[in-house]
Amino acid sequence: GAGVSQTPSNKVTEKGKYVELRCDPISGHTALYWYRQSLGQGPEFLIYFQGTGAADDSGLPNDRFFAVRPEGSVSTLKIQRTERGDSAVYLCASSLQGAEGYTFGSGTRLTVV
């Protein structure tokens, strides 16, 4: 597609539930990134994929968070046993040529109630 697509755009879930957030990157982009943005803050790095493998997952806050990219295209961010503190906008970006080539999606707004 023309841009990075994230679904759903909004997700409301109950505390303790499991959620999956999906990212469709720009076709051909080998690098894919997940960021999390809390209200009033800049985006914070979570994980970076180069192809199918996680090149850097040091930003994942704890083991409730996991992300996959099995075929080197679509990625899914998975959050287990959600907590109210997980409420944020989750942003996905893809890139072919470094930071100037970053294209972000519009994000998924996750609300844990």
Residue 91 as a binder of other proteins (CB under 8 A): the answer is yes
Residues β-bridged to residue 45: 35
Instruction: Decide: 4 and 24 in contact? Cβ < 8 Å.
Output: yes
39 phi, psi to nearest 5 deg? -55, 125
Residue 44 as a binder of other proteins (CB under 8 A): the answer is yes
Residue 48 as a binder of other proteins (CB under 8 A): the answer is yes
CB of 54 to other proteins, least distance (A): 11
Instruction: Decide: 12 and 111 in contact? Cβ < 8 Å.
Output: yes
Residue 57 as a binder of other proteins (CB under 8 A): the answer is no
Instruction: Decide: 5 and 108 in contact? Cβ < 8 Å.
Output: no
Residue appearing with tokens 């075929």: 71
Residue 56 as a binder of other proteins (CB under 8 A): the answer is yes
The upper half-sphere exposure of residue 110, i.e. CA atoms within 13 Å in the direction of its Cβ, equals: 29
Residue 21 as a binder of other proteins (CB under 8 A): the answer is no
1/14 with CB nearer other proteins: 1
Residue 52 as a binder of other proteins (CB under 8 A): the answer is no
List residues near other proteins by CB under 8 A: 4, 31, 33, 35, 40-45, 48, 50, 55-56, 59, 91, 93, 95, 98-107
